[in-house]
Each structure stands twice: as C-alpha cells, then as structure tokens.
Structure 1
Amino acid sequence: MLSLLKKLTAMATPAPAPTQPVAPVASKVDPYALGLYDAKLSGWFNQETNELFKGFEVSAQDTLLDVGCGDGGNVHFCGMRGAKIIIADIDAAKVDATRQRLSDTPAREVECHVTDCNPLPIADATATRVVSTEVIEHVDDPAQFLAELVRVGKSGALYLLSVPHPSSENLQKDIAAAEYFQKPHHIRILSEEQFKTLVSDAGLEIISHSQYGFYWSMWMLLFWEAKVDLSNPDHPLLNHWAETWQALMASPRGAQIKQALDAVVAKSQVIIARKP
C-alpha cells in the first residue's frame, strides 16, 4: 500500500523533462508539478547523470526491482534508461497500470508480480538495483521484508530505500485522518536510528542517509484541513501554499532556504545501501 507522498509523487511524474530542474510557471500553480520540481532539487530524477536519486545510478545493463512500485513513477525513469525492470506490488491494478506506463520506454524487459512480498516470487541474486520507497512503514515485519529484498539482490547490488521521516509524521499525528496511521497505511513511525539499524541488521552497508520534503510535509498538513480530493486539490490553503513555495524557489536564496527547512521537517528519509 502506498503512502500519500508516494501517490503524489507518482501523479506528478511527467514525460521526460530538461536535464536541469525548471520551476513551473503558470497562472495557477500545479502542486504536483511543483512537488516534482522540489524532488528534483533534492536529488531525484537526474536525467543528466541517470541517477534515480543522488548516488543511485541506473543503466541499461541493470536489472532493477521495484518492490511496492505503486503507479510506476520511479520505474518509468529507470525504464527510460533501458534497464530490465521487475515490478512487485500487492495491488494488481497498480501493477497493471505500471506495466502499461512502461510500454513507452526502452526497457529491455519488463517482469511483473502481484505479491505481498512474503516471500518475493523472485530467484536469489537476481537484481543489481533494488528500490522500495515508502513501503516499510506499512509492512507487518520490516526485518522479514528487508531480508527478502537482500535475498534477491546480487552481490554488489545497490539499494534505494525510503520511509517517512518522523519529523513530518509526528507533526501530522493529531491532524491527519485517523486511517492514515492505521493498517494498511502507516502502522509505524521509524526514527533515523531505527531505520539505519533495520537496514544494517539486514546485512546491507549504508552508503548515505538523507532527508527531504518540507514542501510536501506542509502541503499534507494543509491537505487534511482542506478536506479536498487528491485528484482535484483545489482549496485556498493549498493554492496559497503552492504559490508561496514557488515564489520562494524563484528567489535568490530559495534553494538554500529549502535545504535548511528540509533539515528541520522532512517528509522522507532515504538510504542508499550496498549488498556486500
């Protein structure tokens, strides 16, 4: 089951864009396009370096597995690099939608699995790249889940893993809809140390641990108050926030201020790790 941020990011992922992030300009700010621009500033979707996230390069020689693929925003980028793509999700409709989304990419092969990932129907030492973003907070047994991810990775495989950051989750505790923190949604909040320990205990070597997403943290906080639908989040609170963030990003020190705010309240924490 996807977290709200993962759904928003997937909705925002467009066709290939210029290699350098360009702030959206429109009479009314599209919050999803702005969120994608913000994500690119944080290191996502770098077409010039072929990095899905900073430090996680994908090439045509890779076999990339995305567990909890959702709507396919991440694997679409990787498919455009020509990699073999393996997708796995518990939601059959998401798997089918992602399969269709990958049909316009030069991915050398696409393999699809509808599964609860316990276990993954994939052979040992299959993938050179493993992606699982905003999934671990949903699963009943994170250690078992990560053990499966490690099992299917080749020696030397890179892992891109993310979970919500506690600064944002704790901010929303008394504001979000009750079901947001109930199964099958977010059933746990992982501190930075807990996240790193889970990954290390699974046998992976952590390369980097970062955080980003102040924009989405505040947007979500206002989203709960606005009580609008995700498909049409039209509300003064959300519109004004998007306009403010776009103006900030266009200011001379916008990127510096974003970095400072991301360090205080982040939507997600991201680990890049390697299988020995």
Structure 2
Amino acid sequence: MLSFLRKLTAATPAPVAAPVAAVTPVAEKVDPFMLGLHDAQLSGWFNEETGELYKGFPVSADDIVIDVGCGDGGNMQFCGRRGARLIVADIDGDKIEQARQRLSETPARSVECHVTDGNPLPIADGTATRVVSTEVLEHVDDPAQFLAELVRVGQSGALYLLSVPHPSSEDLQKDIAAPAYYEKPNHIRIISEEQFKTMVSDAGLEVISHSQYGFYWSMWMLLFWEAKVDLSNPDHPLLNHWANTWQALLSSPRGAQIKDALETVVAKSQVIIARKP
C-alpha cells in the first residue's frame, strides 16, 4: 500500500529535472509523482553530478550495494547507472522481478536478487560497501533484529543509508488516514528522531548525519485521504491544485528557502547516514 512513498525513484530520470516555468497555469495538470522526484532531488537525492544516491552517500563502480526492502528497484537503478555491483532483497516476489528487469537495463557490474523477509538475509557476512534500507523499519516486527542483519552484511567502513517516516507527518495523519495505513503490514510503529538515532547506534553503527525532507508529500498524503481517489489515478482538484501550488513555489525566487523552512516543521521522512566501524 502506498509503496511509491517508500521508493521515490519509481521513474527516476537520469538527469536532474530542469527548472519549471515561473508561473504554472492552474488548468495545467502537474504529474504529482514526477514533481515529487524533482522535489526529492532538491532535497539531496539522485545527484548524478556527484554520484550521491543521497547527500553524503556516494556510490561508484567500485561499490557493492545492498538494498533491503528494495521494492521495484528505484534506488538501485541510480546505483546501477554508477556501475556498482547490486544485491537487492524484498519480501515481495513480484517487486523483486520488477527490480530484476529494471536493473538488467543498467550498466551494473552484476545484479543479485533475493526474495526474503530479512530474518536472516541470505547474504554472506561483510559483503557490502554500501547498505540501503529506506522506509522499512516502521513495517518490521523486530527492528533490532532487522538492523543486526543489515550490520552483519556490511564490510568494516561500509556506509549505510537508512530512512523511516518522520513523526511530524505520521502524527499529522493519524486521525485522517485510512485505518489500514497504521496496521500490519503497513506502519506498525511511529519512530521518533531520538528513537531512530538510538536504534542505529545500538546496532553498532556510527551516525554521521540525520536529516529530514518531504513537506510536499506530507501535504499530498493528507489531501489524498480526503480526496478518496485510487492511487493508480490520483486525479482530484485537491491534489491537482496542491501539485500546481508546490511547483509554482519551487519556481519562485525564495522557493528553496521556503521549502527548507517548511520541512523543519513537517517532513515525510527522516534519513540517517551511518558507518560501520
């Protein structure tokens, strides 16, 4: 359910999206998912120039990258374009097959796929130089066990890119979202900033940075619940006007400054970059 929020790169374009026009007519429909990708790039995701999947998380052809909870492989598509060796794992076999097909079209050194619940991961100790797991910990029954497996498969010095929903957005939606959104197999816990940092540190990783982003998606989701439309075709005036408004804001002279200010108040996700000693 709502897996697009877990993997923002479902249709990640290779180049950074070009700036939009200064004024967007309200009548012109904006693709909310492509706008979300552009917004994510502004927050530090998918930087083709620096080779960073996320700010502070560079990927090169020399890396062995594991993505646990990979979905259909959006994040790893970026890593594949860098020429890295890729290992993907997810509990959903259909998603893994989609990831396999997508990643086979990249210049990745190799692609290895696993259907698994992560307990344990069918991957040898000390395999990866980079470990990715985005928007997964809020779903799993035992976060400590899950993190222990992520740590086990990383080499000494490996970098970790981990994210979970930010509590500001989760709390905002609690009384508005569909009840199933906060029931298994969806979000069974809300993780505070301090809890997230403690989880990662207790797993034996050194936290390098902790950031947050995604005001656009937080507001979009709030309106989505009210619009009561199908996610495959989220066409509703509330959502269309919001996407147009956000695109116009990003095009304004102080759009980036306003975006940053809003994301300190309400963010869709929090991201930790960590290192294995």
What TM-score comes out, normalization by structure 2 length?
Answer: 0.96
**1:52–1:78: 8 Å Cα contact kept in structure 2?**
yes
After TM superposition, the structure 1 = structure 2 runs for residues 52-201 of structure 1, keeping only pairs within 5 Å, are: 52-201=53-202
Residue 5 of structure 1 is matched in structure 2 by 5
User: What CA distance in whole angstroms lies between the structure 2 residues aligned with 1:89 and 1:155?
Assistant: 24
Residue 273 of structure 1 is matched in structure 2 by 274
User: What CA distance in whole angstroms lies between the structure 2 residues aligned with 1:178 and 1:24?
Assistant: 36
User: What CA distance in whole angstroms lies between the structure 1 residues aligned with 2:39 and 2:91?
Assistant: 29
AA aligned to 1:5 is L
Return 5+ residue gaps in structure 2 as ranges. Answer: none
What's the RMSD between the two structures over aligned residues? Answer: 1.3
After TM superposition, the structure 1 = structure 2 runs for residues 208-223 of structure 1, keeping only pairs within 5 Å, are: 208-223=209-224
**1:2–1:135: 8 Å Cα contact kept in structure 2?**
no
User: What CA distance in whole angstroms lies between the structure 2 residues aligned with 1:261 and 1:2?
Assistant: 23
User: What CA distance in whole angstroms lies between the structure 2 residues aligned with 1:23 and 1:63?
Assistant: 33
**1:70–1:98: 8 Å Cα contact kept in structure 2?**
yes
Residue 15 of structure 2 is matched in structure 1 by 17
**2:67–2:76: 8 Å Cα contact kept in structure 1?**
yes
User: What CA distance in whole angstroms lies between the structure 1 residues aligned with 2:203 and 2:140?
Assistant: 15
How far 1:23 sits from its partner (Å)? 3.6
Partner SS state of residue 30, structure 2: coil
**1:23–1:246: 8 Å Cα contact kept in structure 2?**
no
How far 1:16 sits from its partner (Å)? 1.2
User: What CA distance in whole angstroms lies between the structure 1 residues aligned with 2:76 and 2:148?
Assistant: 22
| Deviation string, structure 1 residues 98-123 (Cα, Å, up to 9, x no partner) | 00001110000000000000000000
Residue 31 of structure 2 is matched in structure 1 by 30
AA aligned to 1:180 is Y
User: What CA distance in whole angstroms lies between the structure 2 residues aligned with 1:39 and 1:142?
Assistant: 26
AA aligned to 1:90 is I
**2:9–2:37: 8 Å Cα contact kept in structure 1?**
no
Residue 41 of structure 2 is matched in structure 1 by 40
AA aligned to 1:167 is S
**2:212–2:264: 8 Å Cα contact kept in structure 1?**
yes
**1:165–1:192: 8 Å Cα contact kept in structure 2?**
yes
Partner SS state of residue 144, structure 1: helix
Distance 1:82 1:3, change over 3 A: same
Return 5+ residue gaps in structure 1 as ranges. Answer: none
| Deviation string, structure 1 residues 169-191 (Cα, Å, up to 9, x no partner) | 00000000000000000000000
How far 1:3 sits from its partner (Å)? 4.7
